[in-house]
Structure 1
Amino acid sequence: MVTLPDAEWRDRAGLDRLAEVLGAGEGMARFVGGAVRDALLGIPVADLDVATRHAPATVIDLLRRAGIKAVPTGIDHGTVTAVIESGPVEVTTLRRDVSTDGRRATVAFTDDWREDAARRDFTINALYADPATGEVFDYFGGLADLEARRIRFIGDPLQRIAEDHLRILRFFRFLARFGDAPDAAGLEACAARANDLMALSRERIRDELLKLLAARDAVRVVRLMLDRGILKPVLPEIVSADRLEALASREDAAGITPAPLRRLVALLPAEAVEEVGARLKLSNAERKRIVSAAQPAGDRGVYELAYRLGTEGAVDRLLLSDRPVEEVCTAAAWSPPALPITGGALVARGLRRGPEVARVLREIENRWIAEDFPDAARVDVIAEEAVAQALRSASSA
């Protein structure tokens, strides 16, 4: 019998009480999915899901009678969020698919664990565990696939993709995060049905792609996706992973955490970055970041870049350039100072309020940057010179 290893998340405050309320001891509730998978792999567990035989209304009733806050976050699909002392836990009634159209499913509730497992995407995500004993329940060979680091669809890959087209991208995301080699049948099915991605919302594509780009083996998997034409229907601008590979190597050398948005820029021609950002419906802040990152680092000094762009912006540009990695480390470790003078101080020196104050302040700032951010005493000298020059110009006009 395979059991869950001891892990910190299993001692979360309120979790034992939740399992008791849901009747885990009588086989009515089990941990499921990512928490079980990640616990078996020995990696930190982020989100915790519980599957239960109880109907959603019964779950709500049981929780409320036990004094546990119940939020019907996805009640139509059987999901209730239980808010316990240590945070939220999603509790979902066992389900089977009634109909699917590639984007969403109509479900019916069941009390059959295997039936619930059969509707999940990959074998490694269809593992359940008893909250008390830790016994793992595996209906489709997920344990063997986890040991082999093999990403395999449950059942017929073509059917699973027809049920939800996003599973194509999920296949590669899980391969980049957990897999050593793809299941051959799954890979062929994804390649054959790549055009199905065009039916998905750009938001769903964006979310999966960015998660994939953050994964440990993103470079190898993106190369595989390009070889098999997976991205061409929705992101034809991506034709090579060479720059992504160079970026990943530089991130590693600099000890910088991979950033999915930065890695997206590495995959795109500079002239396509803004349009792709809009197509993927990135937020305004995200679009601003990738457009800035796509610009050349030029020959500006490291501190000037970090001051003008912020630390994040400077690190992006430097990593995407061929400048020394040491400069990346310098930028990442530096906290840009604030200009030690204000417009009010210039008015006190005799300048009239208005555009002239802003112009002189920019002039002072530029000199301060050019002199490598000297202290306030030096800035006072620069300010005196700049104000005197401005007053002379005004009097001779």
Structure 2
Amino acid sequence: MDGMILPNADWRHRDGLDRLGEVLGADKGLSRFVGGAVRDALLELPVADIDIATRHQPEDVIDLLRRAGIRAVPTGLAHGTITAVLESGPVEVTTLRRDVSTDGRRATVAFTDDWREDAARRDFTMNALYADPRTGELFDYFGGLADLEARRVRFIGDPLQRIAEDHLRILRFFRFLARFGDVPDPAGLEACTARAKDLMALSRERIADELLKLLVAKHAARVVRLMVDRGIFLPVLPEIAAEGVERLDGLATSESAAGETPDAIRRLAALLPPDPATADSVGARLKLSNAQRRRLITAVSPFPPGTPQALAYRLGTESGVDILLLGGRIEDAASVRDWPVPRIPLTGGALVERGLSKGPEVARALRTVEDRWIAEGFPDAARIEVIADEVVAQALRSVKS
């Protein structure tokens, strides 16, 4: 890591970004890159979202952008955020600010022209780094560069006060540790442990958002183990216990061996006991989507016997892969990942033509044919015709007897 200059990464040359900097007075020191883009560039990671902090008031930002012919969207005007829509993508421009009041869930802010004041309201030192858009000169007010070098996640100022301002920072502390960190700052870890019950005041959507991001981070298993040991989950997700961490560790190994991208819902399933009712309760509590809840429940349910292909056919490829990876069946998971799930080449009408009565009789016979088709490894249409003849003949004999 170059400790003094922002790397000349590709994202700094996005179309329109230099001009946006000129419009916002970067050459006069009025605007700087800030936050994740600076942090990730220093870590040589891909940068997706670009944020600019500015001394300009929000209304002035809108005026400057519109006069320059740049579309301005007031996405968070009360908090000073304007989105500048460039051809190469959006850039969030936020006026320097300081907190006036906080209640653990939201903040009231006032605007300022003091860079240090703006940095002081941010959560972690590694997120409070600024860079001159033109020269790449870095500005570090709270030792963020040293912490980034050490992969140390450290709150700015008093950790207890920062958590009191926004309780979500407890989960963010662990998420950043799982993504970037090797070293949790001891004071921050103690503060998160002491204030874990504050998580109960947060909306479940915010908890879910942070948790799902945490679960796909590089060191998720190690950090989740630390969270369980520290009782962080107890106030909001007491179902997550040490046994779940062991399953998560095994799943992470299986995902890596199978070349699978880490998946948050699959990893959440690993953390939960193998009980569909528990998964349903947790899914509802976290306000997951209906599709996510169904997948979570399926992943912890006893799965039907048969081949990996039979599992993927009955449950869908995604759930089939979930269950196989959770069971450590790496090669089986790989065998169905891109398997084109077939459709049975037979309809109920074809069974009626063979002499069955419409209704339950046809439905039962069709299920029997399908079960045999699956058990025989999904043979072709000619074989299906033979199976159908045999099943219908058996059904008709049963009716006569």
With normalisation by structure 2, the TM-score equals 0.93
Deviations 1:103-155 (A, max 9, x none): 11000011111111110000000111111212221111111111100000011
Match of 1:268 among 269, 272, 285: 272
Equivalent residues of 1:29, 1:50 under 8 A apart: yes
Change (3 A) 1:213 1:353: same
Q: How many Å separate the matches in 1 of 2:21 and 2:347?
A: 60
Match of 2:246 among 242, 259, 264: 242
Task: Give identity over the alignment, percent.
Answer: 72
Amino acid at match of 2:370: E
Aligned to 1:252: 256
Structure 1 stretch displaced more, 381-390 or 120-129: 381-390
Deviations 1:339-386 (A, max 9, x none): 223345545656565554444333322221111011222223323444
Q: How many Å separate the matches in 1 of 2:350 and 2:264?
A: 43
Change (3 A) 1:25 1:391: farther
Q: Does 1:289 align with 2:291?
A: no
Amino acid at match of 2:73: V
Equivalent residues of 1:296, 1:321 under 8 A apart: no
3-state SS in 2 of match to 1:307: helix
Which residues of structure 1 form unaligned runs of 5+?
none
Counterpart mapping for 1:194-205 below 5 A: 194-205=196-207
Equivalent residues of 2:306, 2:375 under 8 A apart: no
Q: How many Å separate the matches in 1 of 2:61 and 2:363?
A: 62
Q: How many Å separate the matches in 1 of 2:257 and 2:158?
A: 42
Equivalent residues of 2:252, 2:262 under 8 A apart: yes
How far residue 331 of structure 1 moved from its aligned partner, in angstroms, is: 2.3
How far residue 84 of structure 1 moved from its aligned partner, in angstroms, is: 0.9
3-state SS in 1 of match to 2:94: strand
Aligned to 1:25: 27
3-state SS in 2 of match to 1:72: strand
3-state SS in 1 of match to 2:109: strand
Aligned to 1:374: 379
Q: Does 1:330 align with 2:335?
A: yes
Aligned to 1:139: 141
Equivalent residues of 1:129, 1:137 under 8 A apart: yes
Aligned to 1:340: 345
Change (3 A) 1:344 1:198: same
3-state SS in 2 of match to 1:270: coil
Q: How many Å separate the matches in 1 of 2:370 and 2:381?
A: 12
Q: How many Å separate the matches in 1 of 2:236 and 2:377?
A: 46
How far residue 195 of structure 1 moved from its aligned partner, in angstroms, is: 1.3
Q: How many Å separate the matches in 2 of 1:229 and 1:391?
A: 63
How far residue 261 of structure 1 moved from its aligned partner, in angstroms, is: 1.2
Change (3 A) 1:29 1:352: farther
Change (3 A) 1:87 1:345: farther
Q: How many Å separate the matches in 2 of 1:178 and 1:312?
A: 29
Counterpart mapping for 1:53-202 below 5 A: 53-202=55-204
Equivalent residues of 2:152, 2:184 under 8 A apart: yes
Equivalent residues of 1:296, 1:317 under 8 A apart: no
Deviations 1:15-70 (A, max 9, x none): 22222222222222211111110011011112111111111111111122222221
Amino acid at match of 1:244: L
Aligned to 1:278: 284
Q: How many Å separate the matches in 1 of 2:81 and 2:268?
A: 33
Structure 1 stretch displaced more, 114-123 or 272-281: 272-281
Change (3 A) 1:17 1:342: farther
Aligned to 1:6: 8
Match of 1:360 among 356, 362, 365: 365
Change (3 A) 1:296 1:391: closer
Q: How many Å separate the matches in 2 of 1:273 and 1:312?
A: 17
Amino acid at match of 1:316: D
Q: How many Å separate the matches in 2 of 1:294 and 1:311?
A: 16
Equivalent residues of 1:297, 1:318 under 8 A apart: no
Q: How many Å separate the matches in 2 of 1:254 and 1:197?
A: 35
How far residue 389 of structure 1 moved from its aligned partner, in angstroms, is: 4.8
Amino acid at match of 1:376: A
Q: How many Å separate the matches in 1 of 2:282 and 2:324?
A: 22
Q: How many Å separate the matches in 2 of 1:337 and 1:122?
A: 51
How far residue 268 of structure 1 moved from its aligned partner, in angstroms, is: 1.5
Structure 1 stretch displaced more, 240-249 or 296-305: 296-305
How far residue 259 of structure 1 moved from its aligned partner, in angstroms, is: 1.1
Change (3 A) 1:140 1:357: same
Deviations 1:221-277 (A, max 9, x none): 111112222111111121211221122122222222111111112112233221111
Change (3 A) 1:30 1:349: farther
Amino acid at match of 1:106: T
How far residue 93 of structure 1 moved from its aligned partner, in angstroms, is: 1.0
Aligned-residue CA RMSD (Å)? 1.9
